[in-house]
Amino acid sequence: MSRLTGQNILLGITAGVAAYKTPALVRALRAEGAEINVVMSANAHKFVTPTALQAVSGHPVRDDLWDPNAEASMGHIELARWADQILIAPATANCVAALAQGQAYDLLSTLCLATDARVLIAPAMNQGMYLHPATQRNLATLKTFGYVVIDPDHGEQACGEFGPGRLPDPNDLIAALDQPTLADQAVSVLQDLNVMITAGPTREAIDPVRFISNHSSGVQGLSLAEVANAAGARVTLIAGPGVPACSAEISRYDVTSAMDMHAIVHELLADIDLFIGVAAVADYRVAQAAAQKIKKHTSSDEHLDLRLIENPDIIASVVDSAHEPVVVGFAAETQDTLKHAREKRLRKGLHAIVVNDVSDASIGFNSPDNATTFICDNEEVFFERQSKQEMANKLLQQIAETLGTELATRKSGHLKSE
């Protein structure tokens, strides 16, 4: 069952060309089980008709703050209370500017001021307008209000120009609505925190065409980075090969080998408050990778020996560094998972460790789901199987609750230095 099943979604549509795509978005949201009400800006009907939106939503479309029938029952407040989430798609530059200034000049802007619901903004406009410093400043302001800004797609635009500003595909907008959110207490801990997260596998070269690696997808680390970023943390993501794309606000560094990852982690570690080591780093590398492709032996009784040497332990080296961030490690185990994780946490001196059983294919490296146990000095908390996006939310919530005092001390220290 979709997490959106039974949710009340208010879709705000402003006067951008991309508004013509919104009936398909409404249809897709209803297929997810959501209840949809649509509110249009004054000129949005020039790009899509209220009749079409009413047909697919099953509800009358609202566009007038001064509708006497609706306002007899304070309709704008009623809708503000009805919504679980508000998505404005497309959001024009004018809409973004008005919301950033706290204006309430029409029904949609009034709803956004009156609601306690989660508000998501999907800017869609000419690439020059999107990249203009005023628009970027306004989007940054909206994030400080707790609004979620969905990055636009790049590509050819209706005006013939090419760049960022296209409305994302309905599936991407639905994924943003489906993203779990953190409680206020966790957001207050994470906001303005400097967080570094490692994600994905490493590749250790054997020769120019072969390497040693593992099945890690990097999705759990990426999900943690996205949730921390949405909570207002300043996130640095160190990503191994194959880790999917992340939000533009995240400072991302792509690496290949364990030595590469170790080097960039320590290069950027100075101001980090919270380090979360999720990456499945190879324990060993080939002592001397061949400069040319190793040829297959012609005789069936011949064999190839590879001499392996140990890679540096990145998480342990972060604990031992002079910068002393709060450190949370991950452990992927296949047997005696809790026993090995407890030993690893104590041996490496971690504030906490998160362990999962990768021998279970349903929660293994390439599964979209995960089940974990969070282990620290005073407690062990088990999180049942759920999506890696939901797991990121639960784990950051737990980190904020368990390690909040240490993190607050770190944050107050770097904020004073700024």
Positions of the chain with pLDDT under 70? 1-2, 67-76, 180-184, 298-301, 412-418
Q: What is the pLDDT of residue 409?
A: 84
DSSP notation for 307-352: -EEEPP-HHHHHHTSTT--EEEEEEEESSSHHHHHHHHHHHHT-SE
Strand-strand pairing, 204-207 and 210-212: antiparallel
Q: What is the pLDDT of residue 244?
A: 87
Please enumerate in sequence order all residues whose Cβ is within 8 A of that of 311, keeping only pairs 6 or more positions apart, or say none. 202, 204, 258, 259, 262, 281, 282, 283, 284, 285
Active-site entry in 112, 159, 246, 376: 159
Question: 8-177 in CATH: which number?
Answer: 3.40.50.1950
Q: Domains of the chain: which residue ranges?
A: 8-177, 184-285+305-417
Query: pTM of the entire structure?
Result: 0.65
Token look-up 């332990």 returns 313
Catalytic-residue membership of 112? no
Q: What is the pLDDT of residue 125?
A: 95
Q: Please state, in angstroms and rounded to a whole number, the distance separating the CA atoms of residues 6 and 257.
A: 45
Q: What is the pLDDT of residue 72?
A: 46
Q: What is the pLDDT of residue 298?
A: 67
Strand-strand pairing, 251-254 and 308-310: unpaired
Are 177 and 36 in contact by the 8 Å Cβ rule? The answer is: no
Whether CATH 3.40.50.10300 fits 184-285+305-417: yes
Q: What is the pLDDT of residue 415?
A: 57
DSSP notation for 93-159: HHHHHHHHTT---SHHHHHHHH--SEEEEEE-S-HHHHHSHHHHHHHHHHHHTTPEEPPPEEEE-TT
Write out pLDDT tens, residues 65-84: 776 665 444 456 888 889 99
Write out pLDDT tens, residues 189-248: 898 999 999 999 999 999 999 999 988 889 999 999 988 988 889 999 999 999 988 888
Q: Kindly report the CA angle at 373 between 368 and 378, in degrees rounded to 5?
A: 155
Are 208 and 229 in contact by the 8 Å Cβ rule? The answer is: no
